Amino acid sequence: MRMLNLTVNGRVHDVPVDDNELLLDVLRTKVGCTSVREGCGVGACGACTVLVDGRSVSSCLALAVRHDGAEIVTADGLPGDDAVVEAFVECGAMQCGYCIPGFVLMTHELLAENPQPDAEQIAAHLEGNICRCGTYPEICAAVTSAAARGARL
Ligand code: FES
Ligand code: FES
Q: What is the pLDDT of residues 116-129, one digit of tens each?
A: 999 999 999 999 99
CA distance 100 to 88: 9
* Substitution candidate for ligand 2 out of 133, 136, 138 with most atoms within 8 A of CB: 133
Residues framing ligand 2 (Cβ under 6 A)? 95-96, 98-99, 131, 133-134
Angle at 19 between CA 16 and CA 2, to 5 degrees: 30
Task: Report the amino acid identity of residue 36.
Answer: V
**What is the pLDDT, as a whole number, of residue 120?**
98
| pLDDT value of residue 12 | 98
Report the SS3 class of residue 145: helix
The arithmetic mean of pLDDT across residues 38-47, rounded, is 97
Q: Residue 151 above 90 pLDDT? A: no
Q: What's residue 152's pLDDT?
A: 83
- Identify the three-state secondary structure at position 134: coil
- Which whole number is the average pLDDT over 76-91? 96
Ligand 2 pocket test, candidate residues 131, 132, 136, 138, most atoms within 8 A of CB = 131
Instruction: Find the 57 Cα to ligand 2 centroid distance in Å.
Output: 19
Q: Which of 100, 132, 126 is nearest to 35 (CA)?
A: 100
pLDDT score of 91: 98
Whether the predicted pLDDT of 69 surpasses 90: yes
| Crossing angle of the two packed helices 83-90 and 136-148, in degrees rounded to 10 | 130
Q: What is the mean pLDDT of residues 132-143?
A: 96
Question: What mean pLDDT do residues 66-88 have?
Answer: 97
Q: Give all strands of the β-sheet with 55-58 in edge-to-edge order.
A: 11-17, 2-8, 71-73, 49-52, 55-58
Query: Which residues 6+ apart lie within 8 Å of 150 measured at CB?
Result: 83, 115
Best residue among 37, 94, 98 to mutate for probing ligand 2's pocket (most ligand atoms within 8 Å of CB) is 98
What domains are defined for the chain? 2-77 (3.10.20.30), 83-148 (1.10.150.120)
Q: pLDDT band for 153, please (50, 70, 90 cuts).
A: confident
- For residue 63, what pLDDT is reported? 98
Q: Is 5 helix (H, G, I), strand (E, B) or coil?
A: strand
The answer to whether residue 98 scores a pLDDT higher than 90 is yes
Mean pLDDT over the full length of the chain: 97
Q: Measured in Å, how far apart are the chain's first and last C-alpha atoms? A: 33
Report the alpha-carbon distance of residue 124 to residue 23 in Å, rounded. Answer: 25
C-alpha R_g of the chain:
15
For residue 45, the ligand 1 atom closest to its alpha carbon is 4
What mean pLDDT is predicted for residues 130-152? 94
